[in-house]
Amino acid sequence: MSDIAIQLQEANVGKVWVNEPLANHTTWKIGGPADLLVQPNDKEGLITCMRIVQEHQMPYRVIGKGSNLLVRDGGIRGVVIKMGEGLDHLRIEGDRVTVDAGYSFIKLATIVARHGLTGLEFAGGIPGTVGGAVYMNAGAHGSDVSRILHSAEVIFDDGQLETLSNEALHFSYRTSLLQEERKGVCLQATFQLKEGHTQTIKDELSKHKEYRRETQPLQQPCCGSVFRNPKPYSAGQLIEEAGLKGVQVGGAQVSLMHANFIVNLGNATAKDVLTLIDHIQTIIKKKYGVDMHPEVQVVGEG
């Protein structure tokens, strides 16, 4: 591992940490160490990093702001690539917006609203990066990334760069090609928006942001929604009706504000969260016969 760390540093790809606790890089503030954590300086640094990782045949995982992510207490073996500063450029050309994968999804929604472009209002309050939003087909308020994405530039495991159309990304509910079929990293996304009335767009965006502030425990360490909605039901409603609000395992608690959120009270471990997730699944299945599937990505070693 020291050899690849030295090679990455000598290649000046960006910041390189060894045995870095991922609790420092997730919104849940939970997670064991990564053997190596790399934050590329820019697109070229990311491509070089990917090439070196493949040369060493090292397993890797990409993260953004660490939302929608539970890292087990044993951490992640191999290389974790963090998309952030340096991969956060934005270009607006008419009603088409091209943005790097490390750009904040919330910030993007705010910026395009100021330009009078509509289509991203649903993103108000969705944590994470653009790359993560594409990977997960993030959505809320009746819309999602698949409704507005024109194309995405992706680098695959073999180092091949491809620009994929919306159709080629095979979007479905909270999934994409990058999860299910071909492992790759979104480098950049282009969104096709529409011109609208600036104040109307801002008002809609503010409404969504305010709704999240009022209904979700955003002041506590959490990951966003834990479970996918088992249509036609609401995950949060089922959990609340089952009387599970406030149920606690160790330092992890079903939020008193929103039942589809699990919060870290300060000392939660991944094991606490996973035990609580399993308990919720068991109770909901017993009471309602409904299978609850996590939306959160669980990675790493126990």
> Is the CB of residue 212 less than 8 Å from the CB of residue 124?
yes
Rounded-to-integer distance, Cα 192 and Cα 120, Å? 10
Domain count, the chain: 3
* Residue after which a domain boundary falls, among 183, 214, 245: 214
Give yes or no: 295 in active site: yes
Choose, from 67, 104, 146, 225, the residue flagged as catalytic.
225
The pLDDT-based confidence of 182 (bands split at 50, 70, 90) is confident
Model pLDDT, residue 127: 80
Largest Cα span, the chain: 57
Is 230 within a domain?
no
pTM above 0.85, yes or no: yes
Residues 192 and 102 in one domain: yes
Question: For the residues 50-72, what does the mean pLDDT come to?
Answer: 92
CATH of the domain at 196: 3.30.465.10
3-state helix/strand/coil string of 242-285: CCCCCCEECCEEECCCCCCCEEECCCCCHHHHHHHHHHHHHHHH
Residues 121 and 200 in one domain: yes
For the stretch 106-143, pLDDT in tens is 999 999 999 999 999 999 878 889 999 999 898 888 89
Residues 63 and 138 in one domain: no
For the stretch 210-226, pLDDT in tens is 888 888 998 999 998 99
Higher-scoring residue by pLDDT: 206, 182 = 206
Share of the chain above pLDDT 70, in %: 100
CATH of the domain at 37: 3.30.43.10
Residues 60 and 137 in one domain: no
Model pLDDT, residue 210: 87
Question: For the residues 268-272, what does the mean pLDDT come to?
Answer: 98
Is 37 within a domain?
yes
Residues 97 and 198 in one domain: yes
Q: Is residue 264 pLDDT above 90, yes or no?
A: yes
Q: Is residue 263 pLDDT above 70, yes or no?
A: yes
Choose, from 61, 72, 174, 212, the residue flagged as catalytic.
174
Model pLDDT, residue 212: 84
Choose, from 20, 121, 153, 295, the residue flagged as catalytic.
295
Is 131 within a domain?
yes
Q: Is residue 252 pLDDT above 90, yes or no?
A: yes
Give yes or no: 146 in active site: no
Q: Is residue 147 pLDDT above 70, yes or no?
A: yes
* Residue after which a domain boundary falls, among 184, 214, 244: 214
Residues 295 and 255 in one domain: yes
* Residue after which a domain boundary falls, among 25, 52, 82: 82
**Domain range for 289:** 235-299
Residues 49 and 98 in one domain: no
Model pLDDT, residue 1: 67
Is 219 within a domain?
no
Give yes or no: 85 in active site: no
Is 268 within a domain?
yes
CATH of the domain at 289: 3.90.78.10
Is 240 within a domain?
yes
